[in-house]
Structure 1
Amino acid sequence: MTTDTHRRGTFGAALALALLSAAPAMAQGSFQDCLRGLEQQARSRGVLPQVFAEATAGLSPDNSILALLDRQPEFSRQPWDYINGLVAANRIAEGRRMLQVHRAAFDRAQQETGVDKHIIAAIWGIETSFGKAKGNTSVVRATATLACYGRRQDFFRGEFVAALQIINQGHVAPAAFRGSWAGAFGHTQFMPSTFLRAARSANGSQRIDLVGSVPDALMSTGNLLRAEGWQAGQGWGYEVTVPAGLDLSLAGRDRPQTVAQWEARGVRRVGGQAFPRRGDQAFLHLPGGAAGPAFLMLPNFRVIMKYNNSENYAMAVGHLADRLRGGGGFVRPWPTAERPLTQQERIELQQRLAQVGLYSGTVDGKLGAGTREALQRFQQRAGMPADGFPTAALLQRLRRGG
């Protein structure tokens, strides 16, 4: 499970890494002090003194990790580049093969959790390429580093202690406890705290093995989504067509309506298909702006976002699941001629929106829902279609003052 970390610019990440590298003795000393401060918290969670001592003996910070802390392609690439990169032909083919190879495990996970097995398979494929890329960074070292340095120390202190709890409970041998640079591990990349909350054995065993057992990983992933509110029998969303003249300011996660209400506004499912559950709540999503494909997103879409707090990630999971099921690509093409804004342009966009009183979030170049809503307000004020999609032309309009 990738963390929803915010990003800083490449220069900021490089500077943080340089500062750590320039003063290894100071960093090492403060690191040991930090670990000593975490020992009591670990003991209060049942971690035995011997387990803590063995896990931290000779432990040093991983100076390369902070350089990665703010890099998250879900928020910096154009949606179509990100989604198409994850929903590639080879991943679709491999996913269909894995659904057959592990049919019994997928069927059991779906039956017991109510979560569509194709969604579980899509998460597995996107997170680790079906187990081929689980990561080779020590989870204990990674979480310890981030517990003692960086912007999210409080969060990662909890993850470090949770990692020790997992070792203490015998789920993972320390030598095999390896994963991503941020501490996510196993076939479907659970953070340690998520493991403690939602991991489940597929066969009722006391030991849960997300690293070596595909059935455990699939069952745990389904259980996590169920715990987050997955609604059995409901999909993740529909590609739709919107009528000319529809008020695009209705788009956004905080403006849901029933599918029947969207139908009354002229929104139709692509291909002339009927909506199977017209009473479901859904929000209109325009990831490529008015010129790209449009979607009605169901509550399960928000559940997928609990795995990774990114609309583009959730779209990739949902779309890959549909392709694994035998579906095709999106009907309406993406506006691929629209170039992505640079990091500096994204920051400038937020700064200018803040200057005119439309944006109050963090100016970090991360163009999420808050920035999109601010852009919609600016577009409404300027008499433009309020799709909230950031473009170079829109930035130029902001530079001119509207």
Structure 2
Amino acid sequence: MALRAILLAFLVCLHGLPIRAQDRAAVEHQFRGWLEQTIWPTARGKGVSRATFDSAFDGVSLDWDLPDLVPPGQKASTQRQQRQSEFGSPGKYFSRGGLVAATEQGRRMARIHAAALTRAEKATGVPGRIVLGIWGRESNYGRAAIPHNAFRVLGTKGFMSTRAPYFTEELIALLQIAEAGHAPESAMKSSWAGALGQPQFMPTNFLKHAADGDGDGHADIWRSEADTIASIARYLAAHGWQAGRDWGFEVRVPESISCTLEGPDQGRRIADWADRGITRVSGRPFPAHEMKGAGFLLMPAGRHGPAFIVTPNFYVLKDYNMSDLYALFVGHVGDRVQYGVGDFAAPWGAVGGLYRSDVAQMQRALERMGHDVGGADGLPGFRTRRSIGRWQEATGQLATCFPEAAMKRALR
């Protein structure tokens, strides 16, 4: 037992003390000092009053349960805990129940808020169905519980997270929002990452993009559906939404076209993709007005799932959330709401079940071979997918462009 205790003590020293073993009272004291010495002078320079500042942090303590915290005196771990979480099939993102619920409620919201959606589309060029897709995904059309004290979340992350400068900037913006009186104090709730209101805007995005959709002189993304709709549309327009273009189309990709051609940096005219044999699963031709525009191959599960030709608007959706699956979900739900389309024609294959650490191991092996995987983060983004495909082709295999358990031994 003594030897075991010595080994345990050694490992603790090697990897850093866990958060719960810290002298929390001392760290809390440092937090209060940081608020006074760093946050208050910056906030005051942005026009925040002392009364607003004191009210915001009255009774606020650090939230030790948030992820990616680095208490004072510790170093950030090079192996984050979430790297050990299981990576599931992309198809799980499109559960039948989730799609049906988002579609049915989206249609109801389309009827109730038709005027606001029309106004937003006329002002920005962003279709109402796309706004509905984002609104539904972010907050279940305003019905999702948003439980956290935003000042506590952003205060904690600004003081001791792996992205402290980013969250400090968001905390200052949150204080500016409070100073301007955009929402009552009781509404200042956020996600665990500090996102606010029905569209789940980070505070800096609220200051840039929140819009008054109902004409009452306020941009209230907490209680006003019209303001929420207008704000989402304004955000997308500011990030480059191209009016008149779709987000993308499900397609069939012939075996003669390699899945390694995926990615936003390998675009070509949609007409060129069509000339190479890519066709829409619906059997209809690509719209004539889209043919000269840029299109990009998207295969989120490689050869194990649906394939798409997406437009630049797809990548505008990714500016809202950097996940391919998020953007695909939003576009698909919007199409279901407005056009009544069904599920994707191609099924999602039985892939996944790996740990993120397994995928990260593959990524590091591919990096050593000279491939650009976009970072060994354990997530199979498009750079990782096509790097796997290029490795497969280089070793005489059929390219599938997705991490599989059978690859672990070869890519280590």
- Give the TM-score of the pair, scaled to structure 2: 0.87
8 Å contact kept, 1:282–1:299: yes
Q: What's the CA shift for 1:17?
A: 10
Distance 1:163 1:190 in 2: 11
Give, as a single letter, the amino acid of the residue that structure 2 aligns with 1:103.
Answer: A
What does residue 305 of structure 1 align with? 318
Identity %: 36
Q: What's the CA shift for 1:268?
A: 0.8
What does residue 389 of structure 1 align with? 402
Distance 1:239 1:305 in 2: 18
Distance 1:83 1:138 in 2: 30
- Give the TM-score of the pair, scaled to structure 1: 0.89
Distance 1:50 1:253 in 2: 48
When residues 241 and 304 of structure 1 are mapped into structure 2, their CA distance, relative to the original with a 3 A threshold, is: same
User: Are residues 1:64 and 2:65 paired?
Assistant: yes
Unaligned runs of 5+ in 1: 1-14
Q: After alignment, is 177-186 or 362-371 more displaced?
A: 362-371
When residues 33 and 140 of structure 1 are mapped into structure 2, their CA distance, relative to the original with a 3 A threshold, is: same
What does residue 197 of structure 1 align with? 208
What does residue 315 of structure 1 align with? 328
Distance 1:112 1:21 in 2: 54
User: Are residues 1:121 and 2:135 paired?
Assistant: no
8 Å contact kept, 1:134–1:187: no
Give the RMSD, CA atoms, in angstroms: 2.5
8 Å contact kept, 1:248–1:387: yes
Q: How does 1:3-402 map to 2 (within 5 A)?
A: 18-20=18-20, 22-36=22-36, 37-66=38-67, 76-84=87-95, 87-276=98-287, 277-325=290-338, 326-335=340-349, 337-359=350-372, 361-399=374-412
When residues 252 and 16 of structure 1 are mapped into structure 2, their CA distance, relative to the original with a 3 A threshold, is: farther
What does residue 9 of structure 1 align with? none
Greater Rg over alpha carbons, structure: 2
Cα distance per residue 1:30-83 (max 9 Å; x no partner): 211221211111122221222112212332111112269986999943211113
When residues 72 and 102 of structure 1 are mapped into structure 2, their CA distance, relative to the original with a 3 A threshold, is: farther
Aligned length: 385
What does residue 7 of structure 1 align with? none
8 Å contact kept, 2:90–2:352: no
Give, as a single letter, the amino acid of the residue that structure 2 aligns with 1:19.
Answer: I
Q: After alignment, is 204-213 or 348-357 more displaced?
A: 348-357
Q: Secondary structure at the match of 1:290?
A: helix
8 Å contact kept, 2:83–2:356: no
Q: After alignment, is 276-285 or 43-52 more displaced?
A: 43-52
Q: Secondary structure at the match of 2:244?
A: coil
8 Å contact kept, 1:87–1:320: no
Cα distance per residue 1:218-272 (max 9 Å; x no partner): 0000000000001112111000111222133212221001001101111111121
Unaligned runs of 5+ in 2: 1-14, 70-79
Q: Secondary structure at the match of 2:249?
A: strand
When residues 21 and 215 of structure 1 are mapped into structure 2, their CA distance, relative to the original with a 3 A threshold, is: farther
Q: Secondary structure at the match of 2:318?
A: helix
When residues 112 and 251 of structure 1 are mapped into structure 2, their CA distance, relative to the original with a 3 A threshold, is: same
Q: What's the CA shift for 1:374?
A: 2.8
Q: Secondary structure at the match of 2:303?
A: coil
Q: What's the CA shift for 1:132?
A: 1.1
Give, as a single letter, the amino acid of the residue that structure 1 aligns with 2:347.
Answer: P
